[in-house]
Amino acid sequence: MDPELIPALEEALEVSPGNAPLRRQLGNLLMGCGRLEDAEDVLRAGGEAGPATPGLQAALARCFAMQGKASPALAVAESLVHRDDASPDVLLSVCRTLKSLDELDAARRAYRRAVELDAEVADPVLAEAIGADGAVWTEPDADEAASNDHDEDEDADEQGRVILRITHGGNPFEGLEIEKPDVNFSDVGGMDALKEQIGLKIIAPLENAELYAAYGKAIGGGILMYGPPGCGKTHLARATAGQIDSAFISVGIHDVLDMYLGNSEAKLHTLFEYARSNTPCVLFFDEVDALGAKRSDMRGSAGRQVINQFLAELDGVKASNDGLLILAATNAPWALDSAFRRPGRFDRVLFVPPSDAAGAAAILNVLLKGKPQKAVDLGAVAKRCKGFSGADLKAVVDVAVEAKLAAAMKSGVPEPLTTKDLVKAAKSVKPSTREWFGTAKNHALYANEGGQYDEVLDYLKMR
Ligand SMILES: Nc1ncnc2c1ncn2[C@@H]1O[C@H](COP(=O)(O)OP(=O)(O)O)[C@@H](O)[C@H]1O
Ligand SMILES: [Mg+2]
């Protein structure tokens, strides 16, 4: 294309800034002339002027990659792999960008997804270069399938790829336990906004089913919580069940993988049925991203079928009718297929940040319950715990308790915990949430489709 077109395209874009194809063309042209920063500006402005289409985002990813900005390039490229409106051509372009970043796993995902959508776009040379046609998948051999006493096993082949071996037979839900949690909202410090949302969106409909029906108010769907590790997602889910005195079933990655491997949508259906037969019940999918992310890793359509079954089960859940509350948590929401976020599925997505000072004080209060203590000024301790997750705060209390124990062993006199002890302990603990925000920031800045990570930007004061 002719560089002399640039001014004309710029002019045209000024008139219709929402014209995504035009913007992409200008971006590509600028990149072609080596004007990478200008191209970046043009492409990034696309998200403000109109929808950030997959085409625009793919061009932006390439633009970042050409400038050596690996993290934002990766954030944007990976987010595209999980968008269900990305065309096969866009996915191939993303695949090439990922290859240039040496992110071969992600490149293979993009490639497989492209070919899954349209086998015609298969590009053997590209596939070879990223190792996409060496199947990662192994079927169990006949011997293994025949014996029932194999556990799921992880192995690596000579290239270090992980192979999951499969258990056949046995109870599909062995290890899935029904729990009656003995914690409730009073054991969850802070997180007031989240408790309120959960109360409003899922507990109230459950407890007032007739009222909702009378007003014809549709209910159903689940809540997806995301945020840095250790900030109380799992704890809050369990406490939700305790709060309404319901059963709690936690389904982890391994159970889900088992379902893939056991070739069975039927098992997934049984799981939902199992939960329905134990109502009221909180059905909690922990680290649900493994599910979404695996979809494009699965060979052929088998994985997709299981996901579709999962989505169908979600669609079939009406909280009022069967007393089933669906919660899920993830540290990596960007790895989750966008199909999960549709209305009636995980349509409420809540950010679970590290607590503020008041929240930290409330969490410390919960954690110190029943421990010998003397006039602890929680506020003063909380001030030293900026950016601490609930797990970090737990570490602070543990460190302080251990120091006290050691001292008591020496002196033979048990002393209560003081503000000073806790402040000292807080200094020895580093907040563990920074790394997460480093990654999240890239997704929020460069792949913030529909403003889905606005809360993260707000938390980082970047908006
Ligand atoms: N709001 C809170 N109140 C009390 N304890 C908390 C809170 N948040 C986290 N914790 C503590 O930190 C631990 C880790 O939290 P968890 O729920 O597993 O985090 P996540 O699931 O977000 O990774 C919990 O087991 C709990 O002891
Ligand atoms: Mg958790």
Give every residue of the chain whose pLDDT is below 50, as ranges: 134-170, 172, 293-301, 319-320
Q: CA–CA separation, 201 vs 24, rounded Å?
A: 40
Q: Is residue 130 within 6 Å of ligand 1 at its C-beta?
A: no
Beta strands in 75-222 (DSSP E): 153-156, 162-165, 178-179
Q: Is residue 190 within 6 Å of ligand 1 at its C-beta?
A: yes
332-385: per-residue pLDDT in tens? 888 777 788 887 788 889 999 999 999 999 999 999 999 999 999 999 999 999
Residues 95 and 196 in one domain: no
Residues 152 and 107 in one domain: no
Q: State phi, psi for 179 to the nearest 5 degrees.
A: -120, 150
- Index of the ligand 1 atom closest to the CA of residue 390: 9
Q: What per-residue confidence (pLDDT) applies to 162?
A: 30
Q: What per-residue confidence (pLDDT) applies to 49?
A: 80
**Is residue 226 included in any domain, yes or no?**
yes
270-309: per-residue pLDDT in tens? 778 888 888 888 999 887 766 554 444 444 445 566 677 7
Question: Which of 288, 319, 351 is the last residue in one of the domains?
Answer: 351
Q: Ligand 2 center to residue 233 CA distance, Å?
A: 5
**Is residue 278 included in any domain, yes or no?**
yes
Residues 326 and 190 in one domain: yes
- Index of the ligand 1 atom closest to the CA of residue 188: 3
Q: What per-residue confidence (pLDDT) applies to 395?
A: 97
247 alpha carbon, distance to own chain's centre: 24
Residues 309 and 262 in one domain: yes
Strands 178-179 and 324-330, bridge-based pairing: unpaired
- Index of the ligand 1 atom closest to the CA of residue 352: 22
Q: Is residue 353 within 6 Å of ligand 1 at its C-beta?
A: no
**Is residue 273 included in any domain, yes or no?**
yes
Residues 130 and 153 in one domain: no
Q: What per-residue confidence (pLDDT) applies to 218?
A: 63
Q: What per-residue confidence (pLDDT) applies to 325?
A: 87
Q: What per-residue confidence (pLDDT) applies to 315?
A: 77
How many domains does the chain contain in total?
A: 4
Strand partners, 163: 155
**Is residue 71 included in any domain, yes or no?**
yes
- Report the CATH number at residue 57: 1.25.40.10
Residues 18 and 74 in one domain: yes
Q: Ligand 2 center to residue 73 CA distance, Å?
A: 28
- Domain range for 141 is 135-167
Q: Ligand 2 center to residue 235 CA distance, Å?
A: 7
Residues 67 and 150 in one domain: no
Question: Which of 300, 330, 351 is the last residue in one of the domains?
Answer: 351
In the numeric block, which tokens belong to residue 246?
């319901």
Q: Ligand 2 center to residue 240 CA distance, Å?
A: 14
Question: Which of 119, 147, 167 is the last residue in one of the domains?
Answer: 167
Q: What per-residue confidence (pLDDT) applies to 158?
A: 38
Q: Is residue 223 within 6 Å of ligand 1 at its C-beta?
A: no
Q: Ligand 1 center to residue 230 CA distance, Å?
A: 5
Residues 8 and 64 in one domain: yes
**Is residue 439 included in any domain, yes or no?**
no
Q: Residue 350 CA: which ligand is closest?
A: 1
Q: Is residue 366 within 6 Å of ligand 1 at its C-beta?
A: yes
Beta strands in 81-177 (DSSP E): 153-156, 162-165
Q: Is residue 238 within 6 Å of ligand 1 at its C-beta?
A: no
Q: Is residue 189 within 6 Å of ligand 1 at its C-beta?
A: yes
- Index of the ligand 1 atom closest to the CA of residue 329: 21
Residues 99 and 244 in one domain: no
The sign of the dihedral angle between the CA atoms of 80, 82, 83, 87 is positive
Q: Is residue 316 within 6 Å of ligand 1 at its C-beta?
A: no
Closest C-alpha among 160, 94, 151, 98 to residue 121: 94
Q: Please report where in the chains the tokens 């009022």 appear, as a residue.
A: 320
Q: What per-residue confidence (pLDDT) applies to 42?
A: 94
Q: Is residue 303 within 6 Å of ligand 1 at its C-beta?
A: no
Residues 372 and 295 in one domain: no
The sign of the dihedral angle between the CA atoms of 441, 447, 453, 454 is positive
Closest C-alpha among 245, 254, 230 to residue 179: 245
**Is residue 445 included in any domain, yes or no?**
no
In the numeric block, which tokens belong to residue 433?
């949430």
Q: What per-residue confidence (pLDDT) applies to 184?
A: 95
Residues 201 and 322 in one domain: yes
- Report the CATH number at residue 412: 1.10.8.60
Q: Is residue 188 within 6 Å of ligand 1 at its C-beta?
A: yes
Closest C-alpha among 231, 159, 197 to residue 385: 231
Q: Ligand 1 center to residue 231 CA distance, Å?
A: 5
Q: CA–CA separation, 236 vs 186, rounded Å?
A: 10
Q: Is residue 390 within 6 Å of ligand 1 at its C-beta?
A: yes
Name the pTM for this structure.
0.75
Q: Ligand 2 center to residue 92 CA distance, Å?
A: 34
Q: What per-residue confidence (pLDDT) applies to 156?
A: 39
